[in-house]
Structure formats: structure tokens, C-alpha cells
A and B are shown apart, each in its own frame.
Chain A
Amino acid sequence: MKSDSNLERVLAAGHFAVTGELGPPRGANLETIKEKAAHLKGMVDAVNVTDNQTAVVRMASWAVSLVIKEMGLEPNYQMVCRDRNRLAMQSDILGASALGITTMLCLSGDHPSFGDHPQAANVHDIDSIQLIKMVSTMCEQGRFLSGGEIDTPPHMFVGAAANPFGDPFELRALRLAKKVAAGADFIQTQCIYDFPRFTEFMRQAHDMGLTEKTKILAGVTPLKSAGMARYMANKVPGMSVPAEVVKRIADQPKDKQAEEGIKLLCEQVEQLKTIPGVAGVHLMAIEWEHRVPEIVERAGLLPRPQL
């Protein structure tokens, strides 16, 4: 094992992994974190703690990670390249590791124009692939990006994101290969509704030998309503929601749409289990943490292994 990560143990033991997600609050507020985390406890192997997601200011992802770690969950500490330069990133990684954070996810980050401070400087000192390589080098070689020696190196199970639905499609597996070469131990994908395209992406990744070098968790998000399905289909860049998926939710009366969304998700999980190279699912139940126990139960993902 390269780290103390629970997710690493679960994947190494060959279990079909499940990760969840928790969005930090827009305030110095511990109560909502604890409430959200309580719903996820025992339901998932690690919980992504988002880093100023959609470029909106929220409580620091390392702080929220520590809070949920104390509650006995495993945080997957997210870090974006938008808000910090290489000095700040490396010092945060040292601090996170020293305080017991073992799993992290390296991301580019949404552009500030989407968020609540569109006036902000858009840092991008390094990009997400360079970040993956920087963390891996810090952990494995005990060296900073500058080459300088780290007196006590951090230990992290290093993750990255992949979006099979971004364009150009022919680059998606190649870019994944770069992330794996940079040192990504695991990958979480964008939410999947377009199965033909995802299956093709996985075939390419599998053929390139990437599924042997990294563990790919397929992203799933329950559609809560027809409005949400339409929004995901039309408004989110780099997202593919086929018309029949939107129709399936929209054909239900309003009070049955959420139920249909969960049903769809359960079918998706079953289908994902059959795709070669899919090592688990990443469940992004956006502002729906309280429904996670029911969702993982119905999707046949319980109990979670205790290792």
C-alpha cells in the first residue's frame, strides 16, 4: 500500500468501490457538514470534498476533510489549479497529509466566470496533469516540484478526473493515459448517462492497458427531476444526456420523477458493473446526501467492506 487510504485498500482487495461527495458550506458552519456527513457514514468508501466547486467560495476543502475524518469517514480531498499557485498547493498537501488526509483528487477547476467571484485572478500556475505528477513526486521521491528535498514526505492515494464526454472525443483516452503516466492511482469520471460513448471510452482505455494501471470509478448522479435532466443536458459544458433519458424522467408525473431517477441510477450501476475496467462508482448526489443510504441500498452496493 502506498498510503493509508481506505479507498486504496478497498480497490486493492478487488471490491467494487463506492465514493460519495460532500459540498462544503458557504459559511463558517460545522453543523451542515456534520449533518451531511452523517448520511454518508458507512455508505461509501471515501467522500469527495469539493474545492470551491463551480468557482463559488465555500469552506476550505482541507478543513471540511478534517471534520469528516474525525467523524470516521474517509475524505477524498479535492484540489483545483484555479485558486492556488505551486507554493500554496504543496504546502496544503504537506499539511493535509500530516493531519491524516490520505486520498486526494487533482482537478483543473471550473473557470471563475461560472462562480460568485468572476473578478478573481485565474491562477493556473500548473495544470491538473502537472499537479498529479507533482503530488506523486512529493510522495514517491520525497521531492518538491523545485527538486528540493522534503524532510518527511506526504503519503497520498492520488486521484484524477476524466470526462469521456468532453471534446474532442479521440483525445479523451489519450488524456487519461497522460494522467496515468503522471501518477494517477484512481480516476473518477464525469456523470454518465450516455452509455454508448462511455463504453467506447472504456474500450479504448482498456485496449491501451490503462485499466490495469489505474482504477476507474464511473460517475453517477441521480436525476431528481425533469428540470434537472434538461439542465444537465443543455447547460453543463462537456456533459452528454441522451434525449431518451430526459424523456424517461419527464414522462413521469412531477411527484414520481425523483423515484424514476433513482430507478434509472440502479439500472446504470448494474450496467456499469458489466463494463470491463470499471472498478467502482462515484455517486454525486448533489444536495441529496440524505437520500444516499436509500440509493446505495437499492443499487445493491451495501454493505461496504470494512478493511
Chain B
Amino acid sequence: MITAQRKPMEEIFQSVERFGKILLLGCNECVTVCHAGGRKEVAMLASALRMGRLKQGSPLAVDELTLERQCDPEYAEELALAIDKYDAVCSMACGCGVQTIAGRYQGLPVLPMVNTTFMGASERQGVWAERCAGCGDCVLGLTGGICPVARCSKRLFNGPCGGSSKGKCEISPEVDCAWQLIWDRLKQLGQTELYTRIMEPKDWRTARDGGPRRIVREDMAI
């Protein structure tokens, strides 16, 4: 899933300073799962904003709404009738959701309330970690199911570098060395011969370096 974290309160207060009535808009997908921008977080941020602004002597009216999926134009349509009431939409969805709303309601400021962070998975309750960088040409089948692009700090394809120490990455004792994990798993799978092959330079065109990407599925188009 896509993970996100709520922006610092100070930044949020500053960004809504000039508004009197906003719609705080959550999303029921990834940001709900990672507790950044679902119904619950919308409610919490809404009361914090109301209280804060009341204290400052310039009350802010905040309506709350959480869409099924903010990155889907079909759900974005749900706002059409009420949208004119607001000075701005403050979105708690990931960057994809924010842009879908902004694209649909061109005349209205749409502001991000979270920092979209990475594509990751839950490691344990309350901890999420990066797992995929969306490189567009997946090599997990060659690397024991551990991603060298997202999980090696130098995205090495023929690691580990000399800084790998006791299973940890040179950048921090908190970060696992991806190549230690890859090697351990290759051994477990009896695939160590995969390591001995030189992995060739990656074609980064399938990643962001080739320009903004699109997927067009003629078979799905209506």
C-alpha cells in the first residue's frame, strides 16, 4: 500500500490560515490502513483545527467527509453538489487523491494534509517499511523476493557494498542490509548461483526516469 504521515500541525495551521470554511476529506483506502487519513484521522484533525482556531479567535468551520477512494474520478464526483460552500478542500489522501480532487475541482484550492511517503508493508503494529519503488521492471524473482531498488540504500544490483555489517546497512544500525537479506533467502531457496551472475545496468526508463508513466489497457477501455 501507499503510506503517508500527517503533516506537522504548525504547517497545517499555516496552510489553512486564510480560510473560514473547509472540507476535510479522507480516503478509505491505503491512508486508512496506515492510520494517516481515514475517517478517524479526519475526525481528530477536524476537532484539532476547530479548537485551535477558536483559541486564536478566528473560528474555522470544518466539514468532514471520507470518500471510498479519492484517486477515483467516480468517487470524486460525490463532492460536486456541495463543493461551492467551501473555501478549500483539505485532503488527507495520498498525493494521487489530492490531485484527483484538484483536477476535478479546478477553481478551488486543494491542499495536502499528509506527506505521502512510500509503498510499503506493515512490519508489525504501528510500523511500516518501504518495500517497492515502482521501478516498472520487477526483479524480485532474481533477488530472493527482496527488492534491491527500494531496500538497498544504494540500490545496488550486485551488492552488498563494503559497509554491510552484522546484517545492517552502513547508513544506520536500524536499517537491515538488503543484500544480507537477499543472500540469506537465496541460500534458503538453494538459488545462490543467481548471485554469481552479474546483473546488468537497469533500464530506468520503466521507472520515473523515462518521464511520467501511464498504463493504457485497450481491453478495459469503454
Contact = CB atoms under 8 A, between A and B. Distances in A.
Interface residues on A, range: 35 or more
Interface string B186-203: 000000000110111110
A170 B199 CA distance: 19
Contact of A168 (B162, B170, B172, B180): B180
Interface residues of B, number: 31
* Residue from B163, B171, B172, B199 whose CB has the most chain A CB atoms within 10 Å: B163
26 contacts: A81-B154, A108-B161, A122-B153, A124-B156, A127-B158, A128-B156, A128-B158, A129-B157, A162-B162, A163-B161, A163-B162, A165-B162, A166-B161, A166-B162, A167-B167, A170-B183, A171-B160, A174-B195, A174-B196, A175-B160, A177-B196, A178-B196, A178-B198, A181-B198, A238-B162, A238-B170
Given A124-B156, A167-B160, A177-B196, A111 B171 contact: yes
Given A111-B171, A168-B183, A126 B201 contact: yes
Contact of A134 (B154, B170, B171, B201): B201
A27 interface: no
Interface of A: 81-82, 86, 108-111, 113-114, 122, 124-130, 133-134, 145, 161-163, 165-168, 170-171, 174-175, 177-178, 181-182, 190, 237-238
Nearest to A134: B201
B158 A166 contact: no
Contacts, number: 97
Given A130-B200, A175-B160, A238-B162, A111 B167 contact: no
B163 A237 contact: yes
A125 B153 CA distance: 13
